[in-house]
Structure 1
């Protein structure tokens, strides 16, 4: 099963994933992106880290920099190196590949995109998030024949972890 969640910003997609993983109680790997406590600031970083590791707010984990009055800086090379490494490690050593989240920032990270697409064609289960307001590469994910897409809403988010657990059937 290749299952991706989508929905409005801060509707609870990552929380649904955390609750689902707790119910599944399996080995998982992959990647997660996240903001720090300064999420609402004009000057902030988006971080990339292993899905099964704690959030770290270091420059080394920074992948996208936002600065007031400046263009957004995206570290495409880090997606293509570290991101690919995280996906490959999870494909080799985990029961489930987690991808939280896929969006527009990796639009030029061709190796990263290729690794994600390749994971959709093998037998390993995938649980991920596709940014709602994204296009290009993410359209390829949404439309992939192996992908089931679920929209998270305030109304359904509490029941989704148990439903997703049943869909995976672990």
Structure 2
């Protein structure tokens, strides 16, 4: 059994650990420690992995813009799914795509129910907007970091993004290199 688990991707392994933790937490032993009754670190890791997976799927859907319902549906539920599909459609109509990646400083700040979670992130953009006809860069996105809050829900046993918006917190600005240091 252990050999087959090794074949899973890191995110699948986290989900397996989470599910195992949830199943174990429903047992009847009153003398279990709190760490075996609550999913804790494994659940937070699964939520964070799903949140970061959303951003990866998002930039993939925009490079070039395509409304792949299966890929977006794997990481999103309504209302965010509808919003992202609209954004992808708008990019396709304007013939602009997005290339690059996103860097995260994400943390799960609420995981009370086991079915919903809140993630706060200081999101840094490492992306450019490009013309899909020529491939030429139209503009480089402002890097940030930007405060982002996401509401995650468990859908069919999988964590997905339900809503994303501006966070109500402040992200620390990146340190500027000292004079003479490379940027």
Fold in common (TM above 0.5): no
In the superposition, the TM-score normalised over structure 2's length comes to 0.23
TM-score by length of 1: 0.24
